Amino acid sequence: MPRDALLQADWIDTPIGPMIAVADRRSLHLLEFADRKALPAELARLRKMAGGIGLGRPAPIDQIAAELGAFFAGTSADFATPLALHGSAFTRAVWQILRQIPPGTTRSYGDIARQMGRPEAARAVARANGANQIALVIPCHRVIGADGALTGYGGGLWRKQRLIELEAALAHPLSLRAGSPAGSPRPAR
C-alpha cells in the first residue's frame, strides 16, 4: 500500500460529543460520533480496505477539526475538506444531493428521491442516508420524515435536533439576537 494511502485516526472533541476522524494524507474517509453504534463496523470495513488504521493526524483531520470549530462557533457551515466516498453510485448520488441542502433547511427522503427523478426510491434514499460515514460534512441530519418529524440519526435524535438548531441560527443570525429562543425559526423544507 502506498505511504500516502495509509489511514490514520484521531479524536476530535465537539460541544455535542467526541468524534472519530479517519483520513489518509489526501482525504477524509470517516467522521463519526464516537458513540455511534455503527462505528465499529465502519472502522472494520475501512481497516479491511486499507489493510489497517493507525493513530495519527494527517492534514485532512487538521482541516476538518478547524472547520468543525468554526461550525460549532457559529461562524461557518462550509466544509471544504477533501472526501473519499465509499458507496455505490446511487449512494454517492444521494450524498451529493445532501451536500446541496442549505444549512438551516431540511428535506424529506421523498423530496430527495423526487429530486433524483426516482420518486419511488424514498426507502433507498433512507438507506443511503444511513450509510453516510462522514457526519456533518455530508449533512444527513438535514433529512426528516415526510411529516416533518425527526427520524433516525446514527448520532442520536438529540444531536440531530441540536444540529438543526445550530444551522438555523447560522442561516438566520438575527433571530437569536432579537431574543428568539434557539431553534424557534422553523427550518424550511
pLDDT in tens, 21-66: 999 999 999 999 999 988 999 999 999 999 899 999 999 999 999 9
Q: Residue 156 has what pLDDT?
A: 85
Helix (H) or strand (E) holding 7: strand 7-12
Give pLDDT tens digits for 121-169: 999 999 999 999 999 999 999 999 888 888 888 788 999 999 999 998 8
**57 burial via Cβ count (<10 Å: 0-12, 13-18, 19+):** middle
Give pLDDT tens digits for 56-113: 999 999 999 999 999 999 999 999 999 999 999 999 999 999 999 999 899 999 999 9
**156 burial via Cβ count (<10 Å: 0-12, 13-18, 19+):** middle
Q: Residue 15 has what pLDDT?
A: 96
CB 33 within 8 A of CB 17: yes
What is the arrangement of strands in the sheet containing 53-55, beginning at the earlier edge strand? 28-33, 19-23, 7-12, 53-55
Terminus-to-terminus CA distance in the chain, angstroms?
44
Q: Residue 1 has what pLDDT?
A: 41
Q: Residue 167 has what pLDDT?
A: 92
Query: How far does CA 156 lie from the centroid of its chain?
Result: 13
Catalytic residue (choose from 94, 126, 140, 163)? 140
Instruction: Note if 140 is an active site residue.
Output: yes
Cell, residue 93: 448520488
Query: How far does CA 154 lie from the centroid of its chain?
Result: 10
| pTM of the predicted structure, to 2 decimals | 0.85
With cut-offs at 50, 70 and 90, classify the pLDDT of residue 2. very low
Residue of 189, 187, 174, 141 lying closest to 74 (CA atoms): 174
Q: How far apart are CA 182 and CA 138, in angstroms?
A: 23
Q: Residue 154 has what pLDDT?
A: 79
Q: Residue 172 has what pLDDT?
A: 67
Higher pLDDT, 5 or 149: 149
Residue of 107, 79, 82 lying closest to 28 (CA atoms): 82
Give the Cβ contact number of residue 46 at 10 Å.
19
**Would the pLDDT of 188 be above 80?**
no
Mapped to the 3 state alphabet, what secondary structure does 61-115 carry? HHHHHHHHHHHHCCCCCCCCCCECCCCCHHHHHHHHHHHHCCCCECEEHHHHHHH
**100 burial via Cβ count (<10 Å: 0-12, 13-18, 19+):** exposed
Q: Residue 169 has what pLDDT?
A: 85
